[in-house]
């Protein structure tokens, strides 16, 4: 039996540069991880099946599950003949812009690597994982990174800052594909370079001053509650509030625990699903 933790990610930036010929968007994003985790266990089987178990009725337990696809790709690539039981204890909200599915897939690449004693380097697993989703290579490392290309080119960065993160998830799920399809790329000044610079200098004020997500206005146009949550979070004391990924989750950053408790309590008044966690990075 082997266990892996799969943390949620947040976007400190999401610059959309242009639409590519393969219909993906060229992006530049600073992403980091937060202490809100799915837990996965991996156990070898005697036959060649991949069995996914999860108590969450909204998570697929067949080949649609990204963890299933990751296990199948590991078996094919490394000629593994025996299957695996994967139990997913789901805590990351689904279709929320927090990369829960991608992080479960990434944990499966790491988990199968250990379970079968393959000792493949993370770089190799990250490269392999890109064929299943743009966010998965980042999640294989699970740290802080500048991600370019369609998101799959990962350059690791040091932890940007110590901070508390308050997450507020409206009771809607958002399709990443739909949000990208309504985007006009290249409309905004890119922010990632400035956030990288501030993060490298350990400059918290610089990080929050330059944080920006180009998908925010697209998602907020369809779901006005996103804008409202951002305004409420900043009014209740967050240093900066912003949407993560394609949304609809909104997160706020603060430095002091007392301030974090205050923002958390205020947000619970206007949103059912609120979390107060540490930035992991
Ligand atoms: C927006 C982001 C930001 O981190 O995250 P989420 O909101 O999903 O967490 C990512 O770019 C999402 O990455 P991921 O969820 O892995 O997307 P994929 O499965 O690769 O692609 C789903 C669909 O989104 C669109 N897509 C995705 C990535 C990209 N750079 N350009 C795109 O246009 C494409 O239409 C694609 O078919
Ligand atoms: N292990 C998984 N956990 C959650 N969702 C998954 C998983 N595998 C596949 N999915 C599918 O992926 C979709 C979006 O996944 P998720 O990673 O939660 O969202 P986001 O990309 O917005 O962060 C879900 O609607 C779900 O059907």
From the number of C-beta atoms within 10 Å of its C-beta (0-12, 13-18, 19+), residue 198 rates as: buried
Distance 66 CA to ligand 2 centre (A): 7
CB atoms near residue 187 (< 10 Å): 9
Return the CA Rg of the chain: 18
Of these residues, 38, 104, 135, 239, which one is catalytic?
135
ipTM score assigned to the predicted complex: 0.97
- Res 191: pLDDT: 98
Question: What residues are in contact with ligand 1 under a 6 Å CB criterion?
Answer: 11, 14, 24-25, 27, 29, 97, 99, 102, 133-135, 150-151, 176-177, 180, 245-246
> Would you give the distance in Å from CA 128 to the centre of its chain?
18
- Res 75: pLDDT: 98
Q: Atom 5 (ligand 2): residue with closest C-alpha?
A: 101
For the chain, domains (ranges, CATH) are: 2-157 (3.30.230.10), 164-278 (3.30.70.890)
- Res 161: pLDDT: 86
Binding positions for ATP are: 93-103
Q: Is 214 a catalytic residue?
A: no
- Res 50: pLDDT: 98
What's the CA gap between 65 and 40, in Å, rounded? 13
| CA distance to 1, 68, 143, 218, 266, per residue, from 242 (Å) | 39, 32, 20, 13, 16
- Res 186: pLDDT: 79
Q: Is 239 a catalytic residue?
A: no
Print pLDDT tens along the chain (281 aa): 999 999 999 999 999 999 999 999 999 999 999 999 999 999 999 999 999 999 999 999 999 999 999 999 999 999 999 999 999 999 999 999 999 999 999 999 999 999 999 999 999 999 999 999 999 999 999 999 999 999 999 999 999 889 999 999 999 988 999 999 999 887 889 999 999 999 999 999 999 999 999 999 999 999 999 999 999 999 999 999 999 999 999 999 999 999 999 999 999 999 999 999 999 99
Residue 155: closest CA among 143, 164, 165:
143
């Amino acid at each position: 039996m082997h266990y892996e933790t799969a943390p949620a990610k947040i976007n400190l930036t999401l610059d959309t540069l242009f639409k590519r010929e393969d219909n993906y968007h060229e992006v530049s994003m600073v992403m980091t991880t937060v202490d809100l985790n799915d837990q996965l266990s991996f156990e070898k089987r005697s036959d060649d099946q991949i069995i996914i178990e999860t108590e969450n009725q909204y998570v697929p337990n067949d080949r649609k599950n990204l963890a299933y696809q990751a296990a199948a790709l590991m078996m094919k690539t490394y000629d593994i003949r025996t299957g695996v039981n994967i139990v997913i204890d789901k805590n990351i909200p689904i279709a929320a812009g927090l990369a829960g599915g991608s992080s479960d897939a990434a944990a499966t690449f790491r988990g199968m690597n250990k379970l079968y004693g393959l000792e493949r380097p993370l770089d190799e697993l990250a490269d392999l994982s890109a064929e299943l989703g743009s966010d998965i290579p980042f999640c294989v490392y699970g740290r802080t990174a500048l991600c370019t290309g369609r998101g799959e080119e990962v350059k690791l960065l040091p932890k940007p800052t110590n901070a508390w993160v308050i997450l507020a998830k409206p009771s809607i799920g958002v399709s990443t594909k739909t949000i990208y399809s309504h985007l006009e790329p290249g409309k905004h000044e890119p922010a990632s370079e400035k956030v990288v610079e501030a993060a490298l200098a350990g400059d918290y004020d610089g990080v929050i001053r330059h944080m920006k997500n180009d998908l925010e206005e697209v998602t907020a146009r369809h779901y006005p509650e996103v804008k409202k949550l951002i305004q409420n979070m900043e009014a209740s004391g967050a240093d900066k509030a912003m949407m993560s990924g394609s949304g609809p989750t909104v997160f706020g950053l603060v430095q002091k625990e007392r301030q974090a408790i205050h923002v958390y309590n205020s947000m619970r008044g206007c949103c059912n699903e609120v979390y107060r966690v540490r930035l992991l990075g």
